[in-house]
Amino acid sequence: MHALLGVGGPEGTVLSVPSSAVEAVRALGDDLGSPTFGAGLGAVLQRPGAVFGRGVLRWAETVPDLGEPGVWLPPTDPRVPAWLRPFNGEVLVVLDAHGRYAAGVGRKLHDEFGHELAVVTEPAMRGRGLARRLVAQAARRVLADGAVPTYLHDPKNAASARVAEAAGFADRGWSVYGLWDPPS
């Protein structure tokens, strides 16, 4: 269970918190971007030091055909890096000329309707368009399976925003909100 989840769009924002904390969260005010609001959430939700943050939420209804550079593998394949192993389905990867991981997309199946995509490219392989091509390839499969592909990224991550745009994930002004424990 999460202490806080939220979604916001052009019409407004909804935060979900435990019912016992609703009034205390309301008392923090309406300015989600204020440092006071974010700092107060950790105390109210009994998560001192936790960080309140926002991510950009995108989804695609149509996706360009940018080719199929990747191969679908089970997350248990030894060539799959640790970050892709927790995904609950096959993962899409590009292997280099020596069969080593170069870039990959994980597909998190939230339910039958929404599948979240996440992508990482090895630093030495960046700048070749692998991320955008993999995201588009994965999104086409999600759409073919009858679900909606979603893509989240930090608002400050311009590279991830460019990948999303190139793969057909327009920025429609939607956000997700969460409360994360500080790095240990």
Is pLDDT above 80 for 22? yes
Closest CA to 151 of 117, 178, 177: 117
Q: What is the pLDDT of residue 48?
A: 86
Q: Domains of the chain (ranges plus CATH)?
A: 5-56 (no CATH), 71-168 (3.40.630.30)
- Residues 6 or more apart whose CB falls under 8 angstroms from that of 139 comprise 60, 63, 117, 149, 151, 167, 168, 169
DSSP single-letter state for residue 66: -
Closest CA to 8 of 177, 155, 132: 177
pLDDT band at 2 (very low <50, low <70, confident <90, very high): confident
Give the whole-angstrom CA distance, residue 15 versus residue 27. Answer: 14
pLDDT digit string, tens, across residues 94-119: 999 999 999 999 999 989 999 999 99
Is pLDDT above 90 for 158? yes
Q: How many CB atoms lie within 10 A of CB 111?
A: 7
